[in-house]
Amino acid sequence: MSDRLQKALAHAGIASRRAAERLIRAGRVSVNGEVVVALGTKVDPEHDAIRVDGKRIPPPPAHATWLALHKPRGVVTTLSDPEGRPTIRDLLRGVRTRVYPVGRLDYDSEGLLLLTDDGRVARDLMHPSSGVEKTYLAKVRGVPDAESLRRLARGVPLDGKRTGPARVRIVKRGENPWLEIVIAEGRNRQVRRMLLAEGHPVQRLRRVAYGGVSLGTLGAGDLRPLTAREIDGLRKASGGASPRARAPRAPSF
């Protein structure tokens, strides 16, 4: 399965996509013994010999690692942070496989975050065309009326484009109720912005499901390996095959 060279380098963890483009332009990348300087060159990471500065990058793993993490609030969904804030790397102690997050949860949000070393499936899951549903619980200021709930379900304008259909219901009533919101998009801070557009700013936001994977009773900051059934469901949702899954060599969760 072919991919653009800079993407293949990024998915292999060599560099960010922009940095990978600079490596290519500098003539530091070769494919099957030929130096490549053209961006967008198609490669097959599973079969082509891709080298950076003469060192071959490893092909995609024969076995994929998939983890579920309960990201707490106050943690950045990156492996490093120039501001020195806590990152998800701090929660991956004992995980020897180099894994990356599937999508993001913002600093003030919490809940289910998937991590994997299967870059191809992760990328396909994050693509807007995948239609993978994400379920959130949001505590909001004020009580949305029936018409507001209908507008949220139909879609609200954000950045000049209406959001896709959603399923929205109140799951815990009160002056500041909890809503359940199911969306199949992944725009930046989408749930927060949707609710703010309706005059109900979010006080707390938790993702409780991603596709067929649920947060369940996983404690804040804790990890667990995904089951074979969960991984198979994600593979099918991505629209393609993926390597066989493995549990990470890590302490018990």
Which residues are tagged catalytic?
Answer: 106
Residue 200, SS3? coil
Pairing state between β 3-4 and 42-43: antiparallel
For tokens 């579920």, name the residue: 68
Which phi and psi (to 5°) does residue 171 adopt?
-110, -15
Residues 6+ apart with CB under 8 A from 118: 60, 61, 64, 65, 66, 242, 243
DSSP string, 136-197: EEEEESS---HHHHHHHHH--EETTEEPPP-EEEEEE-SSS-EEEEEES---TTHHHHHHHH
d(CA 225, CA 246): 8
- Other Cβ atoms closer than 10 A to 117: 22
d(CA 223, CA 252): 9
135: enclosing H helix or E strand = strand 134-140
Beta bridge pairs of residue 168: 181
